[in-house]
Every structure is written in structure tokens, then in C-alpha cells.
Amino acid sequence: MATSRQLREQIAAGRWDAALAALYGGSEEVLSRQRSRYGAALEQFELYYGPGRQVQVYSAPGRTELGGNHTDHQHGYGLAGAVTLDLVAVASRNEDGFIRVKSRGFNKLDVIDLTEEEPQQGESTHSASLIRGIAEGFRAKGCDVGGFDAYTASDVLRGSGLSSSAAFEMGVAMILNTEYGCGLDAPALARICQFAENTYFGKPSGLLDQLTSAVGGVLFADFADPTAPKIEKIHADGVLPEGMTLCVTDTRASHSELTGEFAAIRNEMEAVAACLGGKVLGEVDEKRFWQELPRLREQCGDRAVLRAIHYFEENARTLAQRAALAAGDFAAFARLVEKSGHSSFECCQNVYCASSPKHQGLSAALAISQSILAGTGGAWRMQGGGFAGTIQAFVPDALVKRYCAAMEALFGPGCCYLLSLREQELCGSCKHKRMPCGMVKVHRRRAFFCFLERSAALRLCVCTQSAHIVLVGLKVFCSLARSAEEEGVDAFHGIEAGLDHIEQQLRNERDGEREQSTSKEEISETEMVRK
């Protein structure tokens, strides 16, 4: 561990550049901004909690919804990607039984007395309720957690559909998980965060947002069993073809106060399910749904039926999107993105509030997107809970300037964000400098086992049939990394040396196998000649 000052000095000196580049991109402009951002967060921590404290730094990404709009809470399929907008948290454990969190942009310092376990009056609409709920979620799993002091700085647009709440929740969860050695995996952390949001904050959200923030990359999830969702991680590299940019436009109308509108979608879907003998639409036979439409219209109303139609069709589209990504067929994926957006508009009806028809920022953004992108190979859709917030568009590079200018003319300068998908899972428990490296992961139960997640090391470990070579190689490279760090050298140089060693060992092994194979073939030919 290091003090906040020591970490600031390391960041300013460029010692974190490899990690920051893995998370945000490697251009000097990006690195300079992130150095400043992390340094400022550490300075603010000192301002609120004093200098000289041992701290750790955490990162939790926002997400963009790629498919499965309002399907997760009905036990359907979801598809989302972690993005480069994230929450950064500086934290230090304390022993007084209080959690204190100061968040940039908010005047209030949240102070949670952990002896008060139940939801507190007047707290339900504030972040304090999420913090308290997450702590209780850990305790419900038998984890002995306690207090900490933290400062958070989030780039995830609040109330935008990019899941700023999930990023905040995951940041808090990672702090507790690491500081108190709980060792819970990503799905478990996500369920704790969902519990806090549902029970303490009062928002009936699904689980996809939290899972994506916890796991990273592109995530396909099957929520048939919401207590143990089946997760498939699709590596983000290669999802977007060359020449295509992911643009997210903030229409600058927050949906943070629209919990009732979101709840109505879920309630109406479940009303239809109840008429067919299920609790959620995922438990309902789709064929029977179509057969009983007249009765369902009469009992539940047209809007509820249309939202159920959206669920069944969106669920099928999400499976098709997954297949398109697996096949590398972006054109097919883009067509499905458009269809998803139209279904949200026409059937789910979560693009604007019927009670406020004069305010239709999402509708305007989608209309302009269509006028620019139709027929170009791009795609556009609303995302998230809806009614306000952001839209998503896949824009050919040649049209990015025109597209951003059109969005800014509607919603103001800086409303259009050019994003990348973020590959790494951040466990927050990295033993190397205790930093949110994203590039380095340490197995929670075997600290010696360390590897670069996206490197040849992982691929070689998967492909090789020699456990001995891998074990030796990994031990060697971990030793090199540890030695380098002890000598004050950037640990990544040591890791690279270790990877080179593994690669050479594998080459040697393959060469040996070829020689053995050749010898066997020669022996076999000799024997045949003799015969």
C-alpha cells in the first residue's frame, strides 16, 4: 500500500501510464487527462480526510446497452458493454464503524452508521441508501465488513442511461470486498448492488447494469435464474469494425426522477405475466401469449400488451445480436440495433413521457440520427431505462464530425461522447501497487498467480497442453515482476520479461514435440521397409 501523496507522485511520473492506457486509450491527450483526474481525486481525498493515509484506488465503468432493453427484469436476455467512462474511488479503511463517502459534484458528505442496518427515513432517494444497502448485502452473505472513508469522481453521466448508479454501487462494493477480504466474485457483487438498489433505494432495476460494470467487456447474460444468471463474456476487441465509432449523445434531460415511469414498465409486463400464470414474462409460454391477446387487452390494457410484445421480440433480437457478434457480422448486428430502437419507441413506449409531450429530447435525437445515418451502415437506438438521458449510435468515421455537430446544435456543446468498449474486469484487489490496473489481476486465493488479462500469456495458458510449462513460466514471470517492483522498476517490464520467457518455453516444447513426431514417423517408415 501507499499513501495518497506517494500515489500522486507515481501517477505524475508516468508509472501508471500502462494501466491507464489499458483502461482509457494510449494517446498522450487521454493519458494526460487521466493523470490529472486521478491526481485530483487523491488530492480531494486528502482535503476531506487528511494527508498521510494509506489508500487504494478503484475504478468501476459505466455501460452502454447493446441489446435487451427492459428484458433483464423479466428473466430474459441482456447484452451490454462496459465503456471508458467510469467512476474512480480513493478509499482507506477505518475502524470506527462508519462509512463516509464524498462524491464530486455533490455537496453532501454521506455518513453511514453501520449499526443502523435497516433503511432510514428520508434516505431512500440518496446515495447513502445504496451504501447502507450494499453493506447489509455483504453481511447477509456472512461477510464481516466495517467502515471506510472514500472520495469518488465519476465521468459517467448522471441520469443518462449509462448506469452511473451501477458504477457507483460497484465502486462501493469493490471497496468493501477488498478492504475486508471478502473474496466475492463479480456476479455476487452485482447481486449485492441490485439488492441495495431494489430494497434500499426503491428502484426495481434488473441486474445487467451491475454485471456489466463488474465483469467488463461485452456481456451476454441469461436471467432465467436471476439468482445465478448465466454469463458469457464477449471480448470487446473487434466488436466494432475499423472505421466505426460508438457515439453516445446526452440529451441533457435526466431520468433520475422518473422511477415511477420505469416501475410502470415492469409492473405492466408482470401484470400480463400474472394473467398467464407467471410472475414474469420469462416464465410465460410465448405461443400462449399470442393466442390470448384479446383477453389480455381487456384485462391489462393495450400499453401493457404492447410492452409484453416488446419483451418477446426484444428477447429474440438479443439472441440474434449475440450470434451476429460471435460471427463478426457487424452489418447484421447494426440492423438488429435499429429494430430494437424502433421497438422501444413503438411498443415499450419508453422514449418520452406521455405526461410531458413537449419534452421529447430522445425522440429528436433519434430522428436526426436517422436522417444522417440511414443507409450508411451505421445504427441508432435509445438505451437504458428511457424517457430521458442518452441515445446510442454507431457512426462511420467519415460522418462523426457531421453527426456530433448536429447533436451539439440540438443539445449544446460537449453533448456527444466518442466512446470505446472497456475490456478489463477490475477486481480492486491487485497486489501490484494496489492500483486499478485492469491489466493486472491477482487471483484472490493465490496471490502468486498473476497475469496480463489480454496478453499472449492468457492465450498461451489456454492453448497449451503442458501444465508444467505454464506453471513454471508463470512462476518465473511473477518472480520477475515482483523483483522488478522491489527494485523500483515498473512492474510491467518484469511482466513482459516473464511473458517472453513463457513464449520461449512454449516454442521449445512445440519444437520438441515436432522432433519426437518426426522421429516416430521415421521409425514407422523404417519398420515398414523392413517388413
Domain holding 372: CATH number?
A: 3.30.70.890
Is 340 within the bounds of a domain? yes
Is 13 within the bounds of a domain? no
Q: Which residue has the cell 451476429?
A: 324
Can you read off the three cell numbers belonging to residue 404?
456530433
Is residue 351 pLDDT above 70, yes or no?
Answer: yes
Residues 367 and 492 in one domain: no
Domain total in the chain: 3
Is 16 within the bounds of a domain? no
- The CATH number of the domain holding residue 209 is 3.30.230.10
Residue 457, domain extent: 452-530
Phi, psi of 252 (to 5 degrees): 60, 40
**Per-residue pLDDT, 86:** 94
Residues 460 and 405 in one domain: no
Task: Return the bridge partners of 148, or none.
Answer: 93, 99
Is 140 within the bounds of a domain? yes
**Per-residue pLDDT, 500:** 59
Residues 230 and 249 in one domain: no
**Half-sphere CA count of 529, side-chain side, radius 13 A:** 6
Helical spans, DSSP H, in 378-436: 400-411
Lowest mean pLDDT, pick from 84-98, 278-292, 388-402, 411-425:
411-425
Contact call for residues 117 and 123 (beta carbons, < 8 A): no
Is 413 within the bounds of a domain? yes
Q: Which residue has the cell 516473464?
A: 498
Is 6 within the bounds of a domain? no
**Distance, CA of 356 to CA of 258 (rounded, Å):** 12
Give pLDDT tens digits for 223-273.
999 878 898 988 777 788 999 999 999 998 865 567 788 889 999 999 999
Buried/exposed code over 31-61 (b: 16+ C-beta within 10 A; e: otherwise)? beebbebbbebbebbbeebeeebebbbbbbb
Residues 193 and 331 in one domain: no
Residues 378 and 511 in one domain: no
Residues 211 and 311 in one domain: no
Which of 204 and 311 is assigned the larger pLDDT? Answer: 311
Give pLDDT tens digits for 120-133.
877 877 899 999 99
pTM of the model: 0.74
Contact call for residues 84 and 53 (beta carbons, < 8 A): no
Residues 90 and 229 in one domain: yes
User: Any idea what DSSP says for residue 348?
Assistant: I
CB atoms within 10 A of CB 184: 20
Is residue 520 pLDDT above 90, yes or no?
Answer: no
Residues 136 and 226 in one domain: yes
Question: For the chain, first and last CA: distance in Å?
Answer: 71
Is 467 within the bounds of a domain? yes
Give pLDDT tens digits for 430-470.
333 333 333 222 222 222 222 333 322 222 222 323 333 34
CA 332-338-340 angle, 5° bins: 100
Which residues, including other chains, have CB under 8 Å from residue 434's CB and lie 6 or more apart? 1, 2, 56, 57
Is 60 within the bounds of a domain? yes
**Distance, CA of 273 to CA of 27 (rounded, Å):** 50
Could you give the 3-state DSSP secondary structure of residue 396? strand
**Distance, CA of 60 to CA of 212 (rounded, Å):** 10
Give pLDDT tens digits for 30-39.
999 999 999 9
Residues 374 and 523 in one domain: no
Residues 210 and 250 in one domain: no
CA nearest neighbour of 73 among 470, 359, 385, 454: 385
**Distance, CA of 229 to CA of 77 (rounded, Å):** 10
- Cα–chain-centroid distance for residue 167? 8
Which of 478 and 414 is assigned the larger pLDDT? Answer: 414
Residues 388 and 495 in one domain: no
Residues 65 and 135 in one domain: yes
